[in-house]
Amino acid sequence: MENIDVMVLRALAGWRDKGHKALLATVVRTWGSSPRPIGSIMAMCDTGAVVGSVSGGCIEDDLIAKYTKAYAHQGVSQTAQQASPMSDQVIPSGPPELIKYGISADEAHRFGLPCGGTLELLLEFDPDANSLNNLITSLESGQLIQRRVNLQTGADELMPCNEPSELAIEGTYLINTFGPEYRMLLIGAGQLAEYLATMAKFNGFAVTVCDPREEYVGAWSVPGVKLLREMPDDVVLKFKADKRSCVIALSHDPKIDDMALLEALKTNAFYVGAIGSRKNNQARKNRLVEHFDMTNQEINKLKGPIGLYIGSKTPAEIAVSIMAEVLAVKNNVPISDDMKVEIAKNSKELN
């Protein structure tokens, strides 16, 4: 599954290319609890079609009711009918509009917001198709792009940038950073890799799997995943892992896993891990230090045993555990010791 931001922008650009009126909604501020974080985007076509999300669904219904004639024919929910009566309005042209939802307790309940939740959206009407296509092309090529929108005119400009940053409103400009897809490189094409690759795709990662072993590659069956048969160290070098990348060794074969880890630990990947027990993980670290002169700083980046402790035993459950840890690290969520496999599992086995 493609990164959700790219999916939204691609749909929006397609609608505009075909001459449809459309809008882009961006969550720019939240107060209290909110269903979607700042920076979340949603696109809506004059046909009533919607891609992306800014709420649990009720705000989307309300926008459809307000801005499209197709509302009465699209089977829109009863919530939307109560929130906004049928309108002959269509998506307007002109400068962007800031709109708030959930200011009162009644509105918060009506729009499905958590208690006390309020959010503010920026609505851009008929965004420029050429600019959208240029943004998509840049993201597909792996660039990090800052998009600046003039709040008075709706004109936007795109600028490459080096570091991701939070959405901000500065003077008369909305500044939002769009990054390329997060990437995951899996070493080993076994059953666990199939489950983990599938979960990663649903979480917006572009997934590459590397395995030089013919007996594993021949059985691979996950569509939409790039499969490489080269040696792992060469693949890691070509992968060029950055701060939006993770590398996970799953082959259980030191000759394969160590080659990949040797190169991955020298990169800026936000997560580098390897499957295996505490004993195997320590032996792996010792090998990398003794035979390849890896530094303590590089070795300390290696996670293992990988995953969060959920009592997982099957390949599918282990994949859930690993994916949860990857997402926690990606989202800068602290992981307590009692959730770490290498600590929690050992403690529970002793008790």
Residue 11 has pLDDT above 80, yes or no: yes
**Segment 244-262 mean pLDDT:** 94
pTM above 0.85, yes or no: no
Q: What does the pLDDT look like over 108-144, one tens digit per residue?
A: 666 666 555 678 999 999 999 999 999 999 988 878 8
Contacts of 336 (CB under 8 A, 6+ apart): none
Report pLDDT for 71: 43
Residue 73 has pLDDT above 50, yes or no: no
**Segment 199-221 mean pLDDT:** 89
Burial of 128 (0-12, 13-18, 19+ CB in 10 A): middle
Report pLDDT for 58: 79
Residue 191 has pLDDT above 90, yes or no: yes
Grade residue 261 by pLDDT with cuts at 50, 70 and 90.
Answer: very high
Residue 79 has pLDDT above 50, yes or no: no
Q: What is the mean pLDDT of the chain?
A: 85
Burial 56-75 (b: 16+ CB within 10 A, else e): ebbbbbbbbbbbbeebeebe
Report pLDDT for 104: 62
**Segment 263-287 mean pLDDT:** 92
Q: Which of 133, 96, 125 is nearest to 17 (CA)?
A: 133
What is the rounded distance in angstroms from the CA atom of residue 319 to the CA atom of residue 194?
Answer: 9
Report pLDDT for 347: 45
**Segment 211-220 mean pLDDT:** 86
Q: What does the pLDDT look like over 37-49, one tens digit per residue?
A: 889 999 999 988 9
**Could you tell me the domains of the chain?**
4-178 (no CATH), 182-350 (3.40.50.720)
Do the bridges between strand 205-210 and strand 226-228 make them parallel or antiparallel, or are there none, so unpaired?
A: parallel
Rg from Cα positions in the chain: 23
Report pLDDT for 87: 43
